[in-house]
Amino acid sequence: MKGKKSGKSNKKQLSISPGKFGKSLNVTVHSFDLKKANEKVQVADIKHVPLEDGSCSIVIFCLALMGTNFLDFIKEAYRLLIPRGELWISEIKSRLADEKGEEFVSVLKSIGFFHKSTDDSNKMFTRFEFFKPSSDVLEDRIQRKEKKRKFIEEATQLEEIEQQRAETPEGEWLLKPCIYKRR
């Protein structure tokens, strides 16, 4: 793998040598954080990333959902992703509200993501994969939900989540605070 700096921004252009499929890939990697750890990191609040809508094919949160408003980060990832773009999340198991992260998956599905897989085989971390559906799949989903709501007037799951967030930050009920142990 070769990397070269492109332009004056803090993004890295990578040329990946041919792999088992015999194709070279050119990818741009953006790295955002609240603090500039090195020249590859761009300082930004990840609930407002300075990229255009639909400009990313993959968004990765690896131990990055530490803010009390991390659902805003998830919504920002949804905005950034292209249709069929993927969201990968790696989180410490002890932070999950339930053992398998089912409530976490449910909340991300209510934001609009489709759940691809959960890998909890690691002792310390759980890895989640989601994808943003294409507009035709999303439209079909909305129409089916509206048909159900015609007969029963009730709050949607997303409305319930936003109400819960207004009462109690998601850092107190969805993902618990990260507690580091001395070894």
Query: Domains in the chain and their CATH numbers?
Result: 1-44 (no CATH), 47-172 (3.40.50.150)
Q: Pick the range with the lowest mean pLDDT from 8-17, 46-55, 132-141.
A: 8-17
The residues, any chain, with a CB within 8 Å of residue 71's CB and separated by 6 or more, are 107, 111, 161, 165, 170, 174
Assess whether pLDDT exceeds 50 at residue 7. Answer: no
Given a cut of 70, whether residue 150 has pLDDT beyond it is no
pTM, rounded to two decimals: 0.74
